[in-house]
């Protein structure tokens, strides 16, 4: 997480989803979240793709899709849910 500016947090559901993954997959997702909130090139909400008829946006990290909300008021990226996408 970032010390200033944007930070990320996991909902309890997202924590449970993450706990069910391998340590390598967990690291990949957490590293990407750190990258998103600390990027000097893009504002974190630019990483999210809107979901139809939903306040959530999605972030794809390899074969995983995270459902997130970007809270502008306190600069938080809140991960609501994470799941593996099978193709």
Q: What is the pLDDT of residue 87?
A: 54
Partners of 76 in the beta sheet?
Answer: 7, 71
Q: What is the pLDDT of residue 2?
A: 41
> Does residue 81 contact residue 67 with C-beta atoms inside 8 Å?
yes
Q: Where does 7-84 sit in CATH, by number?
A: 3.30.2310.20
pLDDT tens figures, 13-54: 999 999 999 999 999 999 999 999 999 999 999 999 999 999
pTM of the entire predicted model: 0.88
Domain boundaries, the chain: 7-84
What average pLDDT score do residues 59-77 get? 95
Q: What is the pLDDT of residue 86?
A: 63
Q: What is the pLDDT of residue 85?
A: 76
Residue 76 exposed, middle or buried by CB count within 10 Å (0-12, 13-18, 19+):
middle
What is the spatial distance between Cα 38 and Cα 45, in angstroms, rounded to a whole number? 12
Two structure tokens written together for 6 = 């944007």
6 — phi, psi (to 5°)?
Answer: -70, 145
């Amino acid at each position: 997480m970032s010390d200033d500016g944007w930070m990320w947090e996991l909902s309890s559901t997202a924590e449970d989803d993450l706990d069910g993954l391998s340590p390598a997959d967990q690291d990949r997702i957490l590293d990407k979240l750190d990258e998103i909130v600390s990027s000097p090139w893009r504002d974190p909400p630019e990483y999210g793709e809107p979901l139809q008829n939903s306040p959530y946006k999605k972030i794809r990290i390899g074969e995983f899709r995270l459902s997130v909300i970007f809270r502008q008021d306190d600069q938080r990226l809140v991960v609501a849910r994470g799941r593996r996408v099978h193709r």
